[in-house]
């Protein structure tokens, strides 16, 4: 199986996990704000990764992969805020989403490093 496809599918599955989580965040001013932010940053990596696949050059690919990483890091911080503020209904859903996000951050840190090295 193609590794690119696996990563794309994993990002899509992560986006779906984020969507599920946003539907389970407490309805309050803070909850609504963070749910909206999480929805934007947590679905963005899958979309940006799709765009990176048709990068015009290696540098363009690297730039788009860095955007994926940036969005994943933003999502992780948002998840931590939600968790620490206890704005959730399902703790396991939050912890599983944080775990997956952390793993994706690690994958993309390595991807950025590898791609950067190959450009020099």
Confidence of residue 119 (pLDDT cuts 50, 70, 90): confident
Range of the structural domain that residue 31 is part of: 3-119
Query: Does the model's pTM come out above 0.85?
Result: yes
Q: How far apart are the first and last CA of the chain?
A: 29
Which pair of tokens denotes residue 40?
A: 């934007």
Each residue of 21-70: pLDDT tens digit?
Answer: 999 999 999 999 999 999 999 999 999 999 999 888 999 999 999 999 99
**C-alpha–C-alpha distance, residues 100 and 70, integer Å:** 15
Q: What is the CATH number of the domain that holds 52?
A: 1.20.1440.60
Percentage of residues of the chain with pLDDT beyond 70: 96
Counting the structural domains of the chain, the total is 1
Q: Is the pLDDT of residue 5 over 80?
A: no
Integer angstrom CA distances of residue 79 from 12, 63, 75, 112: 18, 24, 6, 23
Given a contact cutoff of 8 angstroms between Cβ atoms, the answer to whether 50 and 117 are in contact is: no
- pLDDT at residue 1, as a whole number: 45
């Amino acid at each position: 199986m193609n590794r690119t496809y696996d990563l794309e599918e994993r990002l899509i599955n992560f986006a779906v996990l984020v969507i599920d989580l946003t539907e389970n965040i407490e309805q309050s001013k803070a909850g609504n704000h963070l749910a909206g932010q999480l929805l934007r940053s947590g679905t963005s990596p899958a979309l940006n990764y799709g765009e990176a696949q048709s990068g015009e050059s290696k540098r363009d690919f690297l730039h788009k992969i860095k955007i994926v990483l940036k969005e994943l890091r933003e999502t992780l911080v948002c998840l931590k805020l939600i968790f620490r503020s206890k704005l959730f209904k399902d703790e396991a859903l939050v912890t599983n989403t944080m775990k997956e996000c952390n793993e994706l951050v690690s994958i993309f840190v390595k991807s950025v490093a590898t791609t950067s090295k190959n450009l020099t």
